[in-house]
Amino acid sequence: MKVAVVGATGLVGRKMLQVLEERAFPVTEFLPVASERSVGKTVTFKGDAYKVIGMEEAVAARPRVALFSAGGSVSLEWAPRFAGVGTTVVDNSSAWRADPGKKLVIPEINAGVLTREDKIIANPNCSTIQMLVAIAPLHERYGIRRIVVSTYQSITGTGVRAVRQMEAERAGESAERVYPYPIDKNCLPQCDAFTGNGYTKEEMKLVNETRKILDESIRVSATAVRVPVVGGHSESINIEFARDFDIDEVLSILRGAEGVVVQDDPGNALYPMPITANDRDEVFVGRVRRDFSRENSLNLWVVADNLRKGAATNAVQIAEYLYRNSLL
């Protein structure tokens, strides 16, 4: 099982190495891959040091699976090159998510759509992953008509330069500015670039990916906010169902859902937070309550580590499913 991690020196790439090791994925030969400026650097995997190699060398090595986290332009150029030599690519960028010919997969929800012929598989956006892991079982039971979601997204979703910006601001030092304004002690109602309809790309990912994975008929309205947090993304989700529901049944469904942990005890101040979701693979759900302003409507608060379940872990879980089902 020859495995390549493309973008191995980045935040998500390093997290992929950690998750592969923790979950004991059966790696027999490991290839850390990155851009030319990182070639020759060293990364550690399972206690051993590995030299980072370039893209051409990695393609020539014909890995069985390649986990990509190197940006959309890199994926558009190189994922087909890897696929062309028989490698199965699991891509964490936005490059292939909207492509009708590529599967967009959250293993807890729709891994069954995968076949041996799928050589480029898209990992959904981090915010989409955690939201759908939480609400897909409720959609199955009650039928979701509409979602209104506001996200409170960690700076780690932007990358290591954003972490450096916030740390510098907190230390009173100057640093390269990744955001148009200071992020420490601030919230920015902008994640990614704005599109022509007034929504950001991040907000439109929540709309389009939800419809592609769960149900084309679901209407989604999203607002994505960047907050000075490192541990994970949080989401306030309002759902309108086709049918009425019982809160106790909703909680029972959530407690039985794969990958979900319910933290819902307001009397004892128990609810999900990024600080407790940090470095965990589960999606945490709390503040579960009926929306009394609209029929058949429910409010949830959902938190997950965006670098793990929102990126690295989901990608590794896809690879695990392919391996278990002899699809690699």
Query: Could you give the residue numbers annotated as active site?
Result: 126, 233
In our burial notation (b when 16+ CB lie closer than 10 A, e otherwise), range 110-149 reads: bbeebeeebbbbbbbbbbbbbbbbbbbbbbeebebbbbbb
Going 118 to 129 to 21 to 61, the CA torsion angle's sign is positive
d(CA 123, CA 321): 14
> Which residue in this structure is represented by tokens 């990126």?
311
Q: Strands, DSSP E only, in the chain?
A: 2-6, 29-33, 42-45, 48-51, 65-68, 88-91, 120-122, 144-153, 219-226, 233-241, 260-262, 283-290, 297-304
> What is the distance, to the nearest Å, from the Cα of residue 284 to the centroid of all Cα atoms in its chain?
14
| 51: amino acid identity, one letter | K
First to last CA, the chain: 9
Distances in whole angstroms, Cα of residue 195 to Cα of each of 59, 96, 191, 209:
35, 18, 11, 16
Residue 188, Cβ density class (10 Å: 0-12 exposed, 13-18 middle, ≥19 buried) = middle
Cα angle 31, 125, 318 (rounded to 5 degrees) comes to 50
Q: What is the DSSP letter of 236?
A: E
CB atoms within 10 A of CB 277: 27
> Which residue in this structure is represented by tokens 């916030």?
166
Contacts of 53 (CB under 8 A, 6+ apart): 31, 32, 33, 39, 61
Q: 233 in the Ramachandran plot: left (φ > 0), alpha (ψ -120 to 50) or beta? A: beta
